[in-house]
Amino acid sequence: MLEGLLAGLSTAFSVTNILIVIAGCLVGTFIGMLPGLGPMSIIAIMIPIAITIGDPSTALILLAGVYYGAVFGGSTSSILINAPGVASTVATSFDGYPLARKGQAGKALTVAAIASFAGGTIGAILLMIFAPALASVALLFHSAEYFALMVVGLSAIAAFAGTGQVCKALLMTFLGLIMATVGEGVLFNAPRFTMGVMDLQSGFGFITLAMAMFALPEAIYLVLDPNRSKTGDGDSGEITNLRITRDEAKRIAPVIGRQSLQGFFIGVLPGAGATIASFLGYAVERNIASKEEQEQFGKGSVKGVAAPESANNAAATGSFVPLLTLGIPGSGTTAILLGALIALNVSPGPRLMIDEPEIFWAVIISMYLGNLVLLVLNLPLIPYIAKVLSVPRNYLIPFILFFTLMGAYIGQNNATELLLLVGFGVCATLLRFADYPLAPLLIGFILGPLLENNFSRAMQLYDGMAFVWERPMTLALLTLALILIVLPSYRRRRARLRAAGVADGD
């Protein structure tokens, strides 16, 4: 482990990679602040660039930096103009925006940055402890268990989708799996379901699909509803004083500690993620605060900013645990990262730590570095970066659409891909109109080939379905998947969260 850590240190601290982290964080903050572009869209746009870089550690460092920057940028626009660019920072606006209205935008931003930094750092340390442990357990897994584990992951994602939504989320997962079977598979070298179209021979491009599922519907919404891109209900004015008092620091310290831990463990669960962590963090802190502090919540409490911010950053880090150790993404964002890794010829899973320790540790260390960059570099720059919020939508929207097109085109160099993008984008917008969650579709699409390969391998080894009952761990995992879908208590809890305004995806 120590050798891997050292290899990771030397990779992460090379001049190129430090510059990449800084660039990634800046770009992420910049775009994350724009209305309608969440971390998933930003990462999807950045993937062609990451793939051109070629070196998997550098590419992953870039994407992780962009991810953190985007989450941070989202909280900035929540605080300044009450328009969260990202679902996981909605809770930040509850108290951040009132603070900004009182002329304390600088203070709110500093609290958010410190809380994010602490949350991300504590998350990275926990990741360093838990990921190797989980990976060593996962090394005992065979294809049958992998298959079962992926079924558990997909069921959990559907189960967390909320009341009245489990069927829809499951259907979307199935649709994603169905779309993944189009094209030539690994196991059977014959094309399937291509309908004779040559361009479908290699299947649908996952970047195209990611763009069509997330970036394009958001852009279409911005066009449909001009109020959506309006800058909140007022300008928060100048960002002047970034300082916080010693007393405030003392008050937020325990909040940050608690919420970093809680957020991390929520982030590890597949399907939970940063959005739920931030709302839960906010609710918990409000409930355990003293009476007079409780009244402050919603009117501009520093604790109300610190809680969701540390929770969502810790959860973002936590969601890397299943990705890096099991190769199973728990959220839309990590699914896109998984797709990028596969495109870079890296297969995440328990072998990653053994075969390519420098990648694994470089990512963890660059997470830490990324948090530092956000605190030291981005915070003082925020007043200038925030100017991007005043770009008129007539100019902004064509550019967002153009970047979506470019993202799909650069990866494939194929104009058919652009037509697929527009077609899928329209379908995705309709699906969102009807309240179908889209993240399960993408996760299903990315996990589809892995699921089928492991299933086939297990079938071949046991010459049939016998692996289900002959391997206790497989049976246990599949039972767990069934319980997850059937158990209604999850739904009830999520129903309350949904009522509090939790949006889909993070």
Partner 1 sequence: MALDRWIAIVILVVCIAYGYTAFFTMDELLPPIMRRSPIWPSSFPKVLAVGGIVLSLAIIFGIEKAAGAGQNDIDVTRLGQYKFGQALMLLGLMVAYALLLRPLGFLASTFAFLFLGSFLLGERRLLLMATVSAIAAGFIWYLVNEVLGIFLSPLPLFLN
Residues at the site binding partner 1, with contacts judged by CB under 8 A: 48-49, 52, 162-168, 170-171, 174-175, 177-178, 181, 185, 187-188, 190, 192-193, 220-221, 223-226, 392-395, 397-399, 401-402, 405-406, 409-410, 413, 415, 418-419, 421-422, 425-426, 430-436, 452, 455-456, 459-460, 463-464, 495, 498, 501-503
CA distance 501 to 22: 33
Shorter beta-carbon distance to partner 1: residue 1 or 186: 186
CB closer to partner 1 out of 99 and 451: 451
Nearer to partner 1, 125 or 178 (CB): 178
Instruction: Give 458-488 as a DSSP string.
Output: HHHHHTSTTHHHHSHHHHHHHHHHHHHHH-H
DSSP of 34-74, one letter per residue?
STT--HHHHHHHHHHHHHHH--HHHHHHHHHHHHHHHHHHH
Query: What is the smallest separation between the CB atom of 247 and partner 1, expressed in angstroms?
Result: 37
CB of 79 or CB of 396, closer to partner 1: 396
Cβ proximity to partner 1, 226 vs 472, nearer residue: 226
Nearer CB in complex with partner 1: 8/36: 36
Give the nearest distance from C-beta 166 to partner 1 in angstroms.
Answer: 6
Type of residue at 401: L
**Nearest to 219, CA basis, from 390, 397, 393:** 397
Q: Quick one: 64 or 151, whose CB is closer to partner 1?
A: 151
339 is written with which tokens? 């797709």
- Provide, rounded to whole angstroms, the least separation between the CB of residue 233 and partner 1: 17
User: Quick one: DSSP state of residue 346?
Assistant: -
What's the token pair of residue 352? 């990653």
- Hey, which residues does 334 pair with through a beta bridge? none
d(CA 109, CA 288): 24
Smallest separation (angstroms) from partner 1 to the CB of 493: 12
Question: How far is residue 64's CA from residue 59's CA, in Å, rounded to a whole number?
Answer: 9
SS (H, E, C) 102-129: CCCHHHHHHHHHHHHHHHHHHHHHHHHH
Backbone angles phi, psi at 183, to 5 degrees: 105, -175
Tell which residue, 127, 126, 113, has the closest CA to residue 75: 113
Compare residues 115 and 210 and give the one whose CB is closer to partner 1. Answer: 210
Residue among 61, 12, 51, 21 nearest 413 (CA): 51
Query: Measured from the CB of residue 192, what is the shortest distance to partner 1 in angstroms?
Result: 6
Q: Which is nearer to partner 1, 406 or 475 (CB)?
A: 406
* Cβ neighbours of residue 194 closer than 8 Å, sequence gap 6 or more: 182, 183, 200, 201
Q: Name the residue nearer to partner 1 (CB basis): 380 or 464.
A: 464
Ramachandran angles phi, psi of 316, nearest 5°:
-60, -40
Torsion of CA 230, 233, 235, 236, to 10 degrees: -130
Shortest Cβ 495–partner 1 spacing (Å): 5
Shortest separation between residue 244's beta carbon and partner 1, angstroms: 33
* Smallest distance from partner 1 to CB 256, Å: 28
Q: Shortest distance, CB of residue 175 to partner 1, whole angstroms? A: 6
C-beta of residue 209 within 8 angstroms of C-beta of residue 442 = yes
Q: Among all chains, which residue has been given the structure tokens 């899973």?
A: 349
Handedness of CA 16, 22, 24, 27 (dihedral sign): negative
Shortest distance (Å) from residue 457 CB to partner 1:
9
